[in-house]
Amino acid sequence: MTEQAGASTQQIVERVWLSIAERRLRPGVQLKEGQLAAIFDVSRARIRQALAALERDGLVTIIPNRGAFVCQPSVDEARDVFFVRRAVERCIVERLCKSISKVNVTRLRTHVSKERTANAQDSTTDIIKLSGGFHLLLAEVANSDFLFATMRDLIARSSLITAVYRNTNRFNCGPDEHAEIVDAIANGDLSKATGLMEHHLEHVESELDLSEIRDLPHDLRSALA
C-alpha cells in the first residue's frame, strides 16, 4: 500500500487524540515513530508531523534523544489548572459584560450550536475540543492578547486533564451551561454571568475522577484500534 493510501497527518492526530480521550492510551506511554508508521502505514516523516501537532495541542511531550510521550498531568496539576482558570475566566467574563458586540454574541451562540450537535452525535473528540474551544473563544472576543495566550495554555492542559481523569459515565461540560453564560454576558448581567461561570467550572471539575490513573496496556496497536 502506498503512503497516499495511508492515514493523513490529521487522521493520525485525531486517532491518537480519540484514544487518549477514550482512556485507551494512557499518560506516559511512549509513542514510537516506527510503531506508529507501521500502524498507520505512513512514513516516519508524516508521523513526526503528527507528533509535532499533538505537542502543540499539549497532548504530547517530545524529549530530545528519547522520543515522544503522552503528557502525564498529576492530580495536583489538575487542581491547580482549575484554580487558575476560575480567576482568569472571571476576568474575561467581567470584561465581556462591560462591552461585547452583537457579532461576537452570535459567534458564541453559533459555537454553542456546534456543541449541541456534537453531543447529539455522541462524538467524544468533538465534545471535548468544542467544550474547551468555547472558553478559548470567550478569551478571543475579550480582545486581550494576554488573556487569550493564558487561556490557550490552560485549555490545552484542561483538555488533557479531562481526557485522563474524566468519569466516562457522567462527562457533560454541557452546551446548556455555556448558553446560559452567553445569555448573561449578552445582557450585561455581571453578577449572574460570573456566578454561572463559577458554577460551570465547579461542575466540570466535579465530573473528574481525581484519583490514581488506572493501569492501561502499553500496546500502541491495541490502544489505537
Q: Which of 10 and 21 is assigned the larger pLDDT?
A: 10
Rounded-to-integer distance, Cα 112 and Cα 118, Å: 10
Are the C-beta atoms of 16 and 58 separated by less than 8 Å? no
| pLDDT recorded at residue 162 | 77
Is residue 213's pLDDT more than 90?
no
Structure letter (DSSP) for residue 211: S
Expressed in angstroms, the distance from the first to the final Cα of the chain is 19
Rounded-to-integer distance, Cα 205 and Cα 82, Å: 7
Phi, then psi, of 176 in degrees rounded to 5:
-60, -45
Residues forming beta bridges with residue 31, ordered by sequence position: 68
Domain 75-206: which CATH number of 3.30.2350.10, 1.20.120.420, 3.40.50.150, 1.20.120.530: 1.20.120.530
Q: What average pLDDT does this structure show over 131-141?
A: 92
Which regions of the chain does DSSP assign to beta strands (E)? Answer: 30-31, 60-63, 67-70
Q: Which of 123 and 125 is assigned the larger pLDDT?
A: 123
Cβ of 89: how many Cβ atoms within 10 Å? 22
CATH 1.20.120.530 domain range(s) in the chain: 75-206
| pLDDT recorded at residue 220 | 74
Is residue 172's pLDDT more than 60?
no
Question: Which has the minimum average pLDDT: 73-82, 92-101, 141-150, 175-184?
Answer: 73-82
What CATH code would you report for 3-72?
Answer: 1.10.10.10
Percent of the chain residues topping a pLDDT of 70: 89
Tens of pLDDT, residues 28-39: 889 999 999 999
| pLDDT recorded at residue 193 | 97
Residues forming beta bridges with residue 30, ordered by sequence position: 69
